[in-house]
């Protein structure tokens, strides 16, 4: 199964880099650069995973996360992306419903490990 990954980041370079890495890993990828696009894209694309930058303009990643989690979507993994890696930020992410935290910049190896873990977990559920 080809995982569907929605990447949300307002920085175009980071967005394109993550998209390219995920495509190398044979994922179907949708890229969004703002909150309005994100909610609409998630409703249509039905991602298995959402990689969400926390430092977004207009609405931060926490506000977007709540909208995604409250939307009528099939179950998905919500993963925080941030360059701010303090323990307090990680704890806040966990309380907000993120299942994992990835520090920027994300490596190909980290993405491979993440996708492998998510794939194993979803197969165990089915």
The CATH number assigned to the domain holding 52 equals 3.40.50.2300
Predicted local confidence at residue 122, as pLDDT? 58
Whether pLDDT at 125 is above 80: no
* Burial readout 20-30 (b: 16 or more C-beta within 10 A, e: otherwise): ebbeebebebb
Give me the number of domains the chain comprises.
Answer: 1
Q: Percent of the chain scored above 70 by pLDDT?
A: 94
- Average of per-residue pLDDT values in the chain: 91
Q: How far apart are CA 5 and CA 47, in angstroms?
A: 5
Which pLDDT value is given to residue 120? 67
- Looking up tokens 């980071």 gives 14
Per the CB < 8 A criterion, the answer to whether 57 and 86 are in contact is no
Q: Which of 6, 10, 99 is nearest to 60 (CA)?
A: 10
What's the rounded mean pLDDT across residues 76-88?
Answer: 93
How far does CA 109 lie from the centroid of its chain? 16
Encode pLDDT of 30-71 as tens digits.
Answer: 999 988 889 999 999 999 999 999 999 889 999 999 999 999
Predicted confidence (pLDDT) at residue 118 exceeds the cutoff of 90: no
Q: Print the domain residue range for 64.
A: 4-125
CA distance between the termini of the chain: 13
Residue 97 is predicted with a pLDDT of 97
pTM of the complete model: 0.92
Q: Please give the structure tokens belonging to residue 106.
A: 């994300």
Q: Are 87 and 93 in contact (CB under 8 A)?
A: no
């Amino acid at each position: 199964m080809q995982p569907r990954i929605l990447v949300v980041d307002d920085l175009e370079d980071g967005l394109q880099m993550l998209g390219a890495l995920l495509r190398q890993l044979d994922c179907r990828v949708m890229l969004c650069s703002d909150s309005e696009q994100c909610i609409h894209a998630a409703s249509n694309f039905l991602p298995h995973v959402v990689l969400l930058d926390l430092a977004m303009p207009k609405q931060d990643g926490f506000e977007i996360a709540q909208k995604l989690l409250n939307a009528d979507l099939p179950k998905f993994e919500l993963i925080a992306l941030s360059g701010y890696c303090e323990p307090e930020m990680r704890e806040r992410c966990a309380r907000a419903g993120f299942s994992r935290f990835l520090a920027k910049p994300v490596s190909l190896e980290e993405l491979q490990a993440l996708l492998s873990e998510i794939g194993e977990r979803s197969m165990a559920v089915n």
